[in-house]
Amino acid sequence: MSDRRILVAGGAGFLGSHLCDRLVDRGDHVICVDDLSTGRSENIAQLAGHDRFEFVEFDIVGSGLDASISDGVTDVMQLASPAAPPEYLRRPLDTLAVNSTGTKHLLDIAERHGARFFLASTSEVYGDPLVHPQVEEYWGNVNPIGERSVYDEGKRFSEALTMAYHRANDLDVRIVRIFNTYGPRMQANDGRVVTNFVSQALNGDPLTIYGDGNQTRSFCYVADEIEGFLRLLDGPHTGPINIGNPNEFTMLELATLVLELTGSGSAVEYRPLPSDDPKLRQPDITRARELLGWSPEVQLREGLGRTIDWFRSSVFASD
């Protein structure tokens, strides 16, 4: 048992729900706040009724969160934001609001209670990078007026706001930069490449590759990602710190592996590359290794196998 009381905004989302599981399992009390716009109640159904778990349906862009909910919080974790490109492109103003006004409201809660603040930022702050692999010192190459900027610049502003509270108000903060994460509880239609390929392969549909398929990503299994979160949350380092798997794959390599693991006979279909889509993505995790003693343990073949098994049993079970 722990005396920590942790508010997790976005706790019903893909990453947030796995985080809530781990926090409860280790003995912390968790207040999960989510407006369920992209999060899902079924992601936290296993925690319903647990004496160390509370769920509050609320949009953190609003300022009316009941003060009693945050009483005694020791940590405030900001994971609330649309993260899949189709979602943040469909809801651009909401995405900007949750990463600006929503983040400020959570920072104010943390300051009021003397709590530690944890920001889940993203590798998207590096944009279409000119430095490879991406180190935390790199300032990025982001198009500030492109369609993707609502997410990229939203997260960059969240980082700036978090560090302003840290410097001006001496708030204890942590910033993690997340690289492509995958695993159970992802939505089949969320538009991210792993879910696209897995869903298409299991349906027997063509796998959609944008561009020539030589653009790269580095994929981190969700259990490893959450372990990195906890190492950063509990440690003394402000960050930002990259948490991701440094093994880099082209989209063609990923498609080939998905077809192999699913046994699918799906074809591959090429479409034009979306605007401002990063051509390269690979974290330098030297800081995570040296400061947190963290590195990923689950490699892509194993993690994809687990993810495909979950999709078969949970998403495509009735097919």
The answer to whether 151 is a known catalytic residue is yes
Measured CA angle at 315 (ends 311, 318), to 5 deg: 120
- DSSP states along the chain: ----EEEEETTTSHHHHHHHHHHHHTT-EEEEEE-SSSS-GGGGGGGTT-TTEEEEE--TTSS---HHHHTT-SEEEE--S--SHHHHHHSHHHHHHIIIIIHHHHHHHHHHHT-EEEEEEEGGGGBS-SSSSBPTT---B--TTSTTHHHHHHHHHHHHHHHHHHHHH---EEEEEE--EE-TT--TTS--HHHHHHHHHHHTPPEEEETTS--EEE-EEHHHHHHHHHHHHHSS----EEES---EEEHHHHHHHHHHHHT----EEEEPPPTT--S---B--HHIIIII-------HHHHHHHHHHHIIIIISTT-
d(CA 207, CA 251) in angstroms, rounded, equals 10
Distances in Å between the Cα of 101 and the Cα atoms of 10, 147, 183 are 15, 20, 30
The token pair at 144 is 């500030």
CB 273 within 8 A of CB 316: no
Active-site annotation holder among 151, 165, 182, 221: 151
Positions marked catalytic: 151
